[in-house]
Structure 1
């Protein structure tokens, strides 16, 4: 059997373990970015919303929180899909239900975040465009 690096919490050097934990997290981000089209689309929309918020001078904290919710749920959805695919390589209705429900969480957070974003950024954007 191949050798695996020690688990982050098992390393006697806490800084080395912390560095390893960050490495695993960044590998997860890279995996999501390279393999998940929706994560990339949501990231681009997040960057646009953040730029609009900065340009308009409104709702920065709120926009960052909405970005946190949507991207975090997309990452959890990606992780859940990977686990379901690993544990249920053939079709099973419960595996489909798990994947569909996780996707629904992303959908609801995206739609509601979009609505909140319109409420936050819409009026200031219209004001700026009318000038």
Structure 2
């Protein structure tokens, strides 16, 4: 915590909202984030389309509730990780356009996180499909 020279805590610039008022504003900010990602991030749009296409297939391929959850959860995870990756990229780009090794590493690590989440989708769907069509 930062303390001012007079020993007082600095005032926060964020309004202090509580209860349903805070939840409402949080939902509004989430909506703005999703809208910004839809408008500005092609990868987000592609991964969201993939998730929406796979959701009905999850109910067909999965034979149990557990399998359906295992098919849906990684798809949602891809979208979440892509939002975080886009946020990292936006912050790095906001800091400056000059090349810096740490900026590149931050963007590359975000991209790697998206890669691993996509790998999880392929692995999960592949194993459940294998179990359904070749083992059972």
Greater than 4 Å deviation, 4+ residue runs: none
After superposition, the C-alpha distances for 1:23-78 in whole angstroms (9 at most, x for unaligned) are 00111011111211111111111122211111234321112211232111111101
TM-score between both structures, scaled by the size of structure 2: 0.76
Q: 1:48 to 1:123 in 2, by over 3 A?
A: farther
Shift of 1:122: 4.8
Distance 1:89 1:74 in 2: 21
- Counterpart in the other structure of 2:30: 25
Give the alignment of 1:17-96 within 5 angstroms: 17-58=22-63, 59-96=67-104
5+ residue gaps in structure 2? 1-12
- Alpha-carbon RMSD across the aligned residues, in angstroms, is 2.0
Q: Count residues in correspondence.
A: 119
Distance 1:75 1:81 in 2: 10
Residue 115 in structure 1 maps to residue 135 in structure 2:
no
Distance 2:102 2:61 in 1: 45
Distance 1:85 1:115 in 2: 33
5+ residue gaps in structure 1? 1-5
SS of aligned partner of 1:98: helix
Question: Of the two, which has the highest radius of gyration?
Answer: 2
